[in-house]
Amino acid sequence: DAKTTQPTSMDCAEGRAANLPCNHSTISGNEYVYWYRQIHSQGPQYIIHGLKNNETNEMASLIITEDRKSSTLILPHATLRDTAVYYCIVSYHKLVFGAGTILRVKS
Amino acid sequence: SAVISQKPSRDICQRGTSLTIQCQVDSQVTMMFWYRQQPGQSLTLIATANQGSEATYESGFVIDKFPISRPNLTFSTLTVSNMSPEDSSIYLCSVEVGTVNTEAFFGQGTRLTVV
């Protein structure tokens, strides 16, 4: 079973930052936090991952709380093309997907 | 990175038959996985394809129903055997390149409809 809890859906205005929360209170010390997204009819796409420290790449930022029991994915300037299902996964070896958050970016 | 080619991209099959799905990667990879995504649902891990040995199946999935081969570091097949309409799903291949805890890459999936 997935070890994460995410909101079912969220809306975001185009051009604004999208902040997607994830709870993972039972995360183990060696498990990473991963974020993937799936745009309709496509395979999942990797976004970012981290262990303890905050991470940033060209797509997004990942903020992990100090106790590692929750995290937030930040898309700094959401566009319509960011509309997708976003999956937060905690894993050491294999990815177990939960239900994810449907993010709708609206103009 | 890795580019994954899955074949076929879609198929419509008769119940009771079997379909073999191929996953070809453009580079050698350490880990290969197979997932199922039922209509309107999230992805479910079927098994880890191990090179040169039997696949490791997740709870609820068995080798007789979903035999998997991985003859080398760039290729794997998943067979869906004795199909029923409940097997109608998208089947996805996923790979990891390099060490554990790196990003995974996914194929575009095989959309299977069983009639």
pLDDT tens profile A52-77: 999 999 999 999 999 999 999 999 99
What is the model's pLDDT at position A1?
67
**CB burial class (10 A; 0-12, 13-18, 19+) of residue B75?**
middle
Round to whole Å and give the CA distance between B87 and B89: 6
Confidence band (pLDDT; 50, 70, 90) for B76?
very high
Interior angle at CA B89, CA B29 and CA A42, nearest 5: 55
Contact state of B94 with A95 under an 8 Å Cβ cutoff:
yes
Concatenating the DSSP letter of every residue in A34-88 gives EEEEE-TTS--EEEEEESSS-EE-SS-EEEE-TTSSEEEEEETT--GGG-EEEEE
Interior angle at CA A105, CA A100 and CA B2, nearest 5: 60
pLDDT over threshold 90, residue B74: yes
CA A100 to chain CA centroid, nearest Å: 8
Round to whole Å and give the CA distance between B111 and A64: 36
How many residues are listed for chain B in this entry? 115
Confidence band (pLDDT; 50, 70, 90) for B52?
confident
Write out the two tokens for B17.
């038959």
A43 closest CB neighbour out of B42, B48, B92: B92
Confidence band (pLDDT; 50, 70, 90) for B25?
very high
Which 3-state string (H, E, C) describes chain B?
A: CCCEEEECCEEEECCCCCEEEEEEECCCCCEEEEEEECCCCCEEEEEEECCCCCCEECCCCCCCCCCEEEEECCEEEEEECCCCHHHCEEEEEEEECCCCCCCEEECCCEEEEEC
Q: Which residues of A touch B33 (CB under 8 A)?
A: 94-95
DSSP-derived secondary structure letter, A5: B
pLDDT over threshold 80, residue B99: no
Write out the two tokens for B13.
């099959």
What pLDDT, in 10s, does the model give residues A16-50? 999 999 999 999 989 999 999 999 889 999 999 99
Round to whole Å and give the CA distance between B78 and A101: 29
Contact state of B109 with A87 under an 8 Å Cβ cutoff:
no
Which 3-state string (H, E, C) describes A52-67?
A: CCCEECCCCEEEECCC
Q: Is the distance from CB of B83 to CB of B16 less than 8 angstroms? A: yes
Q: Is the distance from CB of B108 to CB of B6 less than 8 angstroms? A: yes
Torsion region of B82: left, alpha or beta (phi above 0 gives left; psi -120 to 50 gives alpha):
left
Determine the residue of chain B that is closest to A101 in CA distance. Answer: B42
Distance, in angstroms, between A85 CA and closest chain B CA? 9
What is the model's pLDDT at position A93?
79
pLDDT over threshold 70, residue B61: yes
